[in-house]
Amino acid sequence: MDDYGSDDESVQDYTETKVLLGYAETEPSSDLISHLGGEPIWPHPSSPADARLAKCACCNKLMPLLLQLNGAIPESPHERMFYVFGCKEKTCRRKKGSMKALRGVKVSKDYELRIAKAKEEEEARRAEEKRKREEDATKPKAGNLLFGSGAGLGMGAEGNPFSAGGNPFSTTATAAATANPFSTKPAAPTTATPTAEKLTKSFADTLRISSTTKPEPEPLLYGPSEPWPSPLPFTYPLFYFDADYETLVPDAPIPQKIEEVLGDDKTSDSLPVSNNDADDGHLDTVFQKFADRAGQNPEQVLRYERGGCPLLYSHNDEVAKTLLDSKKEFTTGRIPSCTECGKRERVFEFQLMPHAISVLEGDSMGLDGMEWGTVIVATCTCAPKVRDVNGVGWVEEWVGVQWEGQN
Ligand SMILES: [Zn+2]
Ligand SMILES: [Zn+2]
């Protein structure tokens, strides 16, 4: 990442791209979290994902972890962690749902406090408006009561916990609440025990109201979450990451951008392609581009370029249909909208490269091993609405698997 090398002479020989490449290392560098294989490390030790989220949609078996990636980015106020799981059952190969990508999000307490405070202020403002409307309607001379409602404290307050807004304490209560240790309670609404103390009670009410007005997302899974077995049924060997920006030799015979591969028929002229079989010609070209680009840094197991453009293994499968427009240029437009926030803001974030297979499997799997060409993951940055007491929530992200040989 940090390019403080003294190899200035070599700079002219290479073109550096914006793609951060991950290389598998047996020894950890600075990042102890991101890794290939091994076991998942949860955003909080006592907040594992529901094990059902990591089960194969075809055989329902718990899938081993292929990749965990720390996805912390400046534009997200939340901690983000990615997990890619893949089924190793032979019968599930090439089937949809036999690979899954999860995004674990840990929302900071700071963020929760800010949200809680904003909600309180909004509720207080609405209550004040409502109180004014009611006063205007029922008491034409309400002006006299603006500061006189203190006499009625506790009376007529039922049904509207914010009716106390008519007295100066209510604003004090709101202000005090944000600096008050109770304000950490939004993370655990069920523990918001009402107390007899006036200020606390009104604050607890505020919390209860804001938690009930929060739109409840449709739960991903029903019932209590499923714990992870210990030990896990199968894990791949553990590797850490070394990361470096991709460098390419400018004179290499391969174009740099996928659009060039797709948008310009002339690029395929140099290759032995039959004019009558343009599709096949493109396929060969696409795969060749993939192989050649990857071949410039053959040990890469991961390509990371949030908001960038994946390197496609094929232009002729379901994934390509999703990711390419009519001009065969990369588009995020057809990536399904986020299952959590419903927005169509998912962008390409990273892809696993096939060298990861030989790293993970070593010589152990042989013909029984994984058979994908690349695994592309597109993600959102939203905070899951359902979060546990540690502020951790989960979103299943879009994963596109391009299978080996399907080009
Ligand atoms: Zn399976
Ligand atoms: Zn989202």
Candidates 88, 87, 82; CA nearest to 101 is 82
For the chain, helix (H) and strand (E) counts, in that order, are 8, 10
Q: Judge if 241 and 209 occupy the same domain.
A: no
Q: Determine the pLDDT at residue 33.
A: 94
For residue 50, being part of any structural domain is answered with no
Task: Identify which ligand lies nearest to the alpha carbon of 382.
Answer: 2
Task: Identify which ligand lies nearest to the alpha carbon of 93.
Answer: 1
CA distance 89 to 25: 26
For residue 171, being part of any structural domain is answered with yes
Provide the percentage of residues in the chain whose pLDDT is more than 90.
55
Supply 100's token pair. 């899954």
Ramachandran category for residue 74: left, alpha or beta (phi over 0 → left; psi -120 to 50 → alpha):
alpha
Alpha helices in 68-214 (DSSP H): 109-138, 168-178, 198-213
CA distance 238 to 84: 14
Does an H or E element contain 284, and which? helix 278-296
Q: Which of 162, 180, 213 delimits the end of a domain?
A: 213
How many CB atoms are located within 10 Å of the residue 20 CB?
19
User: Among positive and negative, which fits the CA dihedral 234, 239, 244, 247?
Assistant: negative
Residue 57 alpha carbon to ligand 1 centre in Å: 7
Q: Which domain holds residue 204?
A: 110-213
Residue 139 alpha carbon to ligand 1 centre in Å: 69
CA distance 27 to 41: 17
Residue 238 alpha carbon to ligand 1 centre in Å: 21
Residue 59 alpha carbon to ligand 1 centre in Å: 4
Residue 149 alpha carbon to ligand 2 centre in Å: 45
> What pLDDT, in 10s, does the model give residues 167-225?
333 333 333 333 333 333 333 333 333 333 333 333 434 444 344 444 445 555 678 89
Q: Judge if 195 and 265 occupy the same domain.
A: no
Residue 82 alpha carbon to ligand 2 centre in Å: 14
Q: Point out which residues pair with 399 in neighbouring strands.
A: 377
Q: Judge if 186 and 296 occupy the same domain.
A: no
Average confidence (pLDDT) over 312-324 = 96
Supply 138's token pair. 């029922």
For residue 229, being part of any structural domain is answered with no
Residue 28 alpha carbon to ligand 2 centre in Å: 31
Transcribe 47-59 into DSSP letters. Answer: -PPPGGGGB-TTT
Q: Determine the pLDDT at residue 397.
A: 98
Residue 216 alpha carbon to ligand 2 centre in Å: 15
Q: 131-145, 198-212, 263-277 — which one is most confidently predicted on average?
A: 131-145
Task: Identify which ligand lies nearest to the alpha carbon of 383.
Answer: 2
Residue 96 alpha carbon to ligand 1 centre in Å: 10
Q: Judge if 282 and 399 occupy the same domain.
A: yes
For residue 55, being part of any structural domain is answered with no
CB 311 within 8 A of CB 287: no
Average confidence (pLDDT) over 66-81 = 92
For residue 91, being part of any structural domain is answered with no
Residue 97 alpha carbon to ligand 1 centre in Å: 8
CA distance 372 to 234: 19
CB 378 within 8 A of CB 347: yes
> What pLDDT, in 10s, does the model give residues 27-65?
988 889 999 999 999 999 999 999 999 999 999 999 999
Number of domains in the chain: 2
Q: Judge if 301 and 375 occupy the same domain.
A: yes
For residue 44, being part of any structural domain is answered with no
pTM for the whole structure: 0.67
CA distance 319 to 128: 53
Residue 62 alpha carbon to ligand 1 centre in Å: 8
Residue 342 alpha carbon to ligand 2 centre in Å: 6
Residue 225 alpha carbon to ligand 2 centre in Å: 21
Supply 179's token pair. 């600096």
Provide the percentage of residues in the chain whose pLDDT is more than 70.
67
Residue 172 alpha carbon to ligand 2 centre in Å: 36
Hey, what amino acid is at 304? Y
